[in-house]
């Protein structure tokens, strides 16, 4: 996928759902994965021509996983003229060594989000951009259906009452496969930090389930996404 197509997807989401307003200061959460780096590329380039002025910063929450190095991300941010911050935490130490959590994902996500929200509020941001793409939305829909018995997935825009932040998802129309292609084309500096819980999550199960459904019923994934768009799910209307 070329940058122009990535920008087209991003502009579509931003315009349809009114994700960006004049003088927004948007934090881009950088995990080190391909999705968040693609989002950084998209928003840093969109700000050059979007009719509403906005600023962005990039921020990484360092969980403390051994071997996690953000130096290449820092180089990319300099290249894209984006301020970059790293918030060091002891989340990994607390969850895996001190508490020895058998099901760590929920607590890890809660602590990571808390650290992220606190820091970006201090940095003067009013919005936070997550790099959730179309596949993430569909997988979350399937997880809610299977494990919670409800028709739900996260919305394009979410207001966080506690932190007074607005969370936006500008990559919502991008397929994961296209982002992988963009990663290869742009040689994104993906940082891999091996989490002990990788590959054993409900999300991994949902991802594999959607792949199986798509293989057996070509076009199934796109139909599920269309159903989400037209389904009057909370936050989507």
pLDDT digit string (tens) for 77-112?
Answer: 999 999 999 998 888 888 888 877 677 778 888 899
SS3 letters across 81-142:
CCEEEEEECCHHHHHHHHCCCCCCHHHHHHHHHHHHHHHHHHCCCCEEECCCCHHHHHHHHH
Q: Tell me whether residue 235 is in a domain.
A: no
Q: Tell me whether residue 72 is in a domain.
A: yes
Domain that holds residue 81: 3-230
Q: Tell me whether residue 52 is in a domain.
A: yes
Residue 200 binned pLDDT confidence (cut-offs 50, 70, 90):
low
Residue 209 has pLDDT above 70, yes or no: yes
Q: Tell me whether residue 102 is in a domain.
A: yes
Average pLDDT value over all residues in the chain: 92
Q: Tell me whether residue 237 is in a domain.
A: no
Q: Tell me whether residue 14 is in a domain.
A: yes
Residue 199 binned pLDDT confidence (cut-offs 50, 70, 90):
low
Which residue, among 62, 14, 53, has the nearest Cα to 170 in the 3D structure?
Answer: 14
CA distance 237 to 232: 6
Give how many domains the chain has, as a whole number: 1
Instruction: Please state the pTM of the whole predicted model.
Output: 0.92
Give the residue-averaged pLDDT of 139-154.
94
Which CATH number is 224's domain given?
A: 3.40.50.620
In three-state secondary structure terms, 59 is strand
């Amino acid at each position: 996928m070329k940058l122009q197509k990535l920008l087209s997807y991003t502009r579509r989401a931003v315009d349809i759902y009114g994700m960006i307003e004049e003088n927004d200061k948007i934090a881009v959460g950088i995990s080190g994965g391909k999705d968040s780096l693609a989002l950084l590329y998209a928003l840093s380039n969109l700000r050059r021509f979007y009719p509403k002025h906005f600023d962005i910063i990039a921020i990484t929450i360092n969980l403390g996983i051994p071997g996690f190095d953000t130096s290449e991300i820092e180089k990319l941010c300099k290249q894209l003229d984006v301020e970059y911050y790293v918030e060091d935490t002891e989340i990994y130490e607390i969850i895996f060594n001190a508490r020895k959590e058998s099901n760590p994902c929920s607590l890890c996500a809660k602590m990571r989000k808390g650290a992220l929200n606190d820091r970006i509020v201090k940095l003067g941001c009013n919005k936070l951009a997550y790099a959730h793409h179309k596949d993430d939305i569909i997988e979350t829909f399937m997880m809610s259906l299977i494990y919670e018995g409800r028709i739900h997935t996260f919305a394009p825009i979410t207001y966080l009452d506690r932190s007074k932040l607005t969370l936006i998802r500008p990559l919502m129309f991008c397929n994961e496969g296209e982002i992988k292609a963009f990663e290869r084309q742009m040689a994104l500096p993906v940082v891999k930090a091996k989490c002990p819980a990788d590959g054993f999550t409900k999300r991994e199960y949902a991802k594999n389930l959607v792949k199986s459904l798509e293989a057996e019923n070509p076009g199934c994934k796109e139909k599920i996404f269309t159903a989400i768009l037209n389904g009057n799910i909370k936050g989507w209307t």
